Amino acid sequence: MPVLVLTSPQTQCATPTISPNGGSFSSAQTVTLASTAGASIYYTLDGSTPTPASTLYTAPFSVTASATLNCAAFYPGVYLPSAIAIATFTIGVAAATPTFSPAAGTYLSAQTVTVTSTAGSTIYYTIDGSTPVT
C-alpha cells in the first residue's frame, strides 16, 4: 500500500510588484499589484503588516490620499507567504501659479517685487528669462 507523505510548502510566493511603485503625485494614482499565479494578494494602506484578514486585491484600485501601501501574497498549502512589498505614496495639491506684486510693467524707479504662491511651497525664480530650477 503506498504511503502519502504530506510536507509543508518550501517555496515562497513571489514578492508582489506594485505599479506605480510609490512616489510623490499631484493627483490620485491607480495601483496595480501582481505576484505568483494563483496566489491571493492582501494589502493595507496604513503601513500595517498585511494578513489574510486584510483587504483582498481583486482589481486595480485608487490611492487618493498619502499612504504607505504594504502587500503580501498568500497561497496556503502550496507556497509560503511572500515577503512584504512596500510603497509610499504622497498625494498633494500642486502649488498655485506664482503671482507678482507689483505686476509686470515699465517703472521709472527700481521696484521691490513680492512673489507669492501656495503656503509652504518653495518658489524658485530667475531674472534673465531662463527656466527656474531647484
For the domain that residue 60 is a member of, what is the CATH number?
2.60.40
In a domain, 41, yes or no: yes
Residue 76 belongs to what domain range? 17-91
Looking at the structure of the chain, the number of domains it has is: 1
Q: Is residue 58 part of a domain?
A: yes
Residue 105 inside a domain? The answer is: no
DSSP symbols for 49-64: PP-TTSEEP-S-EEE-
N-terminal to C-terminal alpha carbon distance within the chain: 76
Q: Does a structural domain hold residue 70?
A: yes
Give the pLDDT band of residue 3 (cuts 50, 70, 90).
low
Within a domain: 27 = yes
Residue 52 placed within a domain: yes
Assess if residue 37 is contained within a domain: yes
* CA atoms of 74 and 58, how far apart (whole Å): 14
Q: What pLDDT, on a 0 to 100 scale, did the predictor assign at position 82?
A: 98
pLDDT tens profile 18-50: 999 999 898 899 999 999 999 999 999 999 999
Radius of gyration in angstroms for the set of CA atoms belonging to the chain, rounded to a whole number: 25
Element (H, E) at 60: none
The tens digit of pLDDT for each residue in 78-123 reads 999 999 999 999 998 667 788 889 988 899 999 998 988 877 778 8
Residue length of the chain: 134
Residue 97: half-sphere exposure toward Cβ, Cα within 13 Å: 0
Residue 66 has pLDDT above 90, yes or no: yes
| Confidence band for 51, pLDDT divided at 50, 70 and 90 | very high
Comparing 59 with 131, the larger pLDDT belongs to 59
Q: What does the pLDDT average to over 60-65?
A: 96
d(CA 102, CA 112): 8
Q: What is the pLDDT of residue 4?
A: 63
